[in-house]
Each structure stands twice: as structure tokens, then as C-alpha cells.
Amino acid sequence: MTKVAAMPAAGAMRRALGGQSIRNAVRVAPCFRHSPLVASRADLHSSAALRERKPAISSIAELRKQIPGTSMLKAKEAIVSTWSTSDPSKGDDIQAALAWLEEDRAKSGLKKAQKVAGREAKEGWIAVAVLSDGAGSGTKDLQQPINPTSGDARANTPSHAATPTSAPVASIIELNCETDFVGRTDVFEKLSRDIAHSAALFPNLGGAVLGTGFADLDTEQLLDFILMEAPDSASVDSDQTASSTAPTSPRTIRAAILDAVSRLGERIHLSRASVLILTPPSTSRDEVRVANLVGSYVHGSSATKQGSTQTSLGRVGALVLSTISHASSSANSSSALEGLDPAQTRALLRSLARQAVGFQTTSISHQQDQEADSALLRQPFSMLLPAAQLAVQDGAGEGDVEAALHAWGRQRNGKQVQVVGLRRWTLGESGPEAQA
């Protein structure tokens, strides 16, 4: 008689059956075949098929392309974990694997974030986003802020003229990590750009108070808003990551940070954020007589990626809000930007932002008990770009920033140029500097 290989619990079963063999016991009681201790042939065949099956290389590559930073082992685990046990012949389920990865990384990110919560994070980036500079036609008038009550939160508003829709839209944020190495990864740089872009799109949310100038956001509230991907951060390029991302569903800024923590293994902290807020003009005449414009500049930046036009990263960054208006005695009802060359205007705006970054600027105007060099308007205009076309005549180009602005406007039909808002941040500061 051929011997039957005993199952792990065969001895115990034989004693319970009074010494009968398992085969005889099954013969005597056919219903025993339905016991969970005896696997069906179908189950055994399914299990064997799954053991022999391997994830397709193309499926692993697709997962790593969809979610950059995913290791090959983790991609394989996601695919295997979502295989169909009822139909082993079914192919790899990419969508199910993506959902598995998102859930796994959310759990992993939360655990890692709790583990590294006490670590110091002073590296990272100052990220500046300018969706529209307000200077009229040009590449910088690309997108308008989102109205929470509007239907399409992602709608773009192209602008081809100096119209009310060209209002400046800008933000500045500081995103910190622990080391410069992590700060320069594509994952962290993309996250920095996306958060700055998102903050600019929600100027009236996150606790900002309506007014004219820059308003600091409540970062805890901002973390719960949807992350809006910056157009110039849609692709990353790295030896360890794929070239594009495709999030499976909208996610909050907080979720995106936790996801980055799970990938990079360091504490990541959104320390501050500020957005440009403009008070709506009381009349249509006021709207055209005074133009609001914003200039930006960052220093110590990473290599600019091709096509990067809206967001910039650096260790020191500045946003400067200026106004251009007709001469006070003028009754002109045309746009304040009429007759101005957009390229020259943008060069002036950028010069002001470069000036703020180049000096230890803490305010716009000189204040009591303050060093003169720390006030923007009292500084020598060392950072004035030639493209601003300030003609050197009658003393123009000499003196401080304020004098240069007066001269620039005077040479353009008596326009008045004023600086009305400033944000200048340095990476790793304990808090925002005093701003006028």
C-alpha cells in the first residue's frame, strides 16, 4: 500500500480518529473533504500559478514612471499584492497597484514624519511663484487666482493686453528639509514649486486678510488645501526617478509632504507662506489709472529647468509690489501702462527685486532707529538692469532707488512709480523679517 504524506497536523488527526488513517477517515466521512484543512485542487492550482507568476517588467516600469521614486522592489510588491486570486490568468492591474502604493506611502510617510518630527530642518528652498506680474502682454501673465466659488479651479486666464485681468498674482513660501542633499532632489524641488504655485492660486484662503500688499498665510490651514501642480514642475529628470508623474487623485498639500517624507526619509516642514493681496478698485476709473505690478528674484538657485517661467527656487528670495500711475495733475482716463514698453517695465520690476535681495533689505522706507542701507528706497540702485532703459540725463541714474524711480517715470510722460509692498526672505530664518 502506497504511503500518503501526512499534513502538519496528521498525528493529532490520527489520534483523534482512534488510529484510523486519514485516507480511511475521509473514505468513511466524505463530508470531511470540505474541511479547510484539505485544500481543493482549484485552490492548489491557483496558488501554484501565483507562485510561478512574475510581474511584467513593463508593469514595474509603468509604476515607477507614474510615481517617481518608487523602488523596483516596492513596485513589484504593489503588483503582487493586487493580483487576482480568483483568476490567475488576469494581467497586472496597474490602477490597483497605484492605489496600493498611494495607501502604503501615506502610512509610511505618517510613520516617518512622526519619527523625525523633532529633528532640525533648516535646509530647503525659498520658492517664489509669479503667475502674472501685471505688466500687460507677455509670458508672465499666465494664470489668475482661483475663486473658490468658480466652477473650474484649474482654468487659465491668458492675457494679451494691459487689462484688469492682468492683475499680478504671486506668492513666496519657505519649505524646509534637513540636508542640502535632499533639498536638491527633483522630488523636493517639484514639491516646493507646486506649493508656491498653489499658494498663489488661493490668495483669499488660509486666513489671509483682504488688503493691498502681502499677507502671511496660516500654514496649518494651507496644508489642507488641494495641491495644484505648477506647469513648470510637471516633469522631473533624475537617474533614480522617472520623467513624469500622474497622481491617481487630487491630494492636499499635507498629503504631498507626507508622501515626500516617505520617499526621502527626512523631516519636511512648510515654515511660512505669503501671498499678494489686492483690494478691488472702488471705480473702473481707479482700475485703469493705477496699475499694480510685481517683480521677483531669487539668489543661490538651483539650475533652472527648461521652460521654467513661473516659479523660482533659491536661498534668498524677494517679491516687490509696485504701482505705476499717471501724474497727479493728469486727467487721463487711459490705462496707466499705456505707452510703456512691457520689456522695460519688467526690467525695472526685476531690478527692484534684485536690489532687495542684494542688500540686507528689511523695509521699503527708512524708519527711526534703522540703518539707512536696510531701507530699499534709500539704497544706491546698484542692481538696476540696463534693459530698464533709464536714460542718464539731468542726474538720472544717480542717487538712491527712490530718485531713480522718479527719473524713470519722468522720462515716460511723467508716470509715477512707487514701491508699496515687500517680502524678502532668507532660508533658515527663525521668522519673517519686519516688512513695510
Name the residue with higher pLDDT: 406 or 52: 406
Same-fold call for 58-83+90-116 versus 118-136+166-230+250-426: no
Domain boundaries along the sequence of the chain: 58-83+90-116, 118-136+166-230+250-426
pLDDT digits (tens, 9 = 90+) for 151-189: 333 333 333 333 334 789 999 999 999 999 999 999 999
pLDDT confidence of residue 146: 54
Residue-level pLDDT at 376: 94
pLDDT mean over 352-368: 90
User: Quick one: pLDDT at residue 90?
Assistant: 72
| CATH code of the region 58-83+90-116 | 1.10.8
Can you tell me the distance from the alpha carbon of 35 to that of 40, in angstroms, rounded to the nearest whole number? 10
CA angle at 428 for the pair 426 and 434, rounded to the nearest 5°: 50
pLDDT recorded at residue 188: 94
What pLDDT does residue 333 have?
Answer: 60
User: Which residues have CB under 8 Å from 103's CB, separation 6+?
Assistant: none
pLDDT band at 436 (very low <50, low <70, confident <90, very high): very low
Instruction: Give the relative orientation of helices 72-81 and 94-115 as an angle to the nearest 10 degrees.
Output: 120
Q: What is the CATH number of domain 118-136+166-230+250-426?
A: 3.30.479.20
Q: What does the pLDDT average to over 412-420?
A: 91
pLDDT higher than threshold 60 for residue 354: yes
Question: Mean pLDDT in the chain?
Answer: 75
* pLDDT at residue 10 is higher than 50: yes
Helix residue ranges per DSSP H, 275-316:
284-289
Task: Report which of 189, 203, 192 is spatially closest to residue 227, judged by C-alpha positions.
Answer: 192
Tell me which of 20 and 218 has the higher pLDDT: 218
> With 60 as the cut, is the pLDDT of residue 197 above it?
yes
Q: CA 376, 377, 379, 382: dihedral to nearest 10 degrees?
A: 90
Higher pLDDT, 272 or 240: 272
- Has residue 358 got a pLDDT over 60? yes
Distance CA 222, CA 218 (A): 6
pTM of the model: 0.70
Q: For residues 299 and 64, which has the higher predicted lDDT (pLDDT)?
A: 299
Do the beta carbons of residue 253 and residue 193 sit within 8 Å? no
* Confidence bin at 285 (pLDDT 50/70/90): low
Tell me the range of 87-96, 209-218, 242-251, 422-431 where mean pLDDT is highest: 422-431
pLDDT of 326 reads: 81
Mean pLDDT of 287-294: 81
pLDDT score at 344? 93
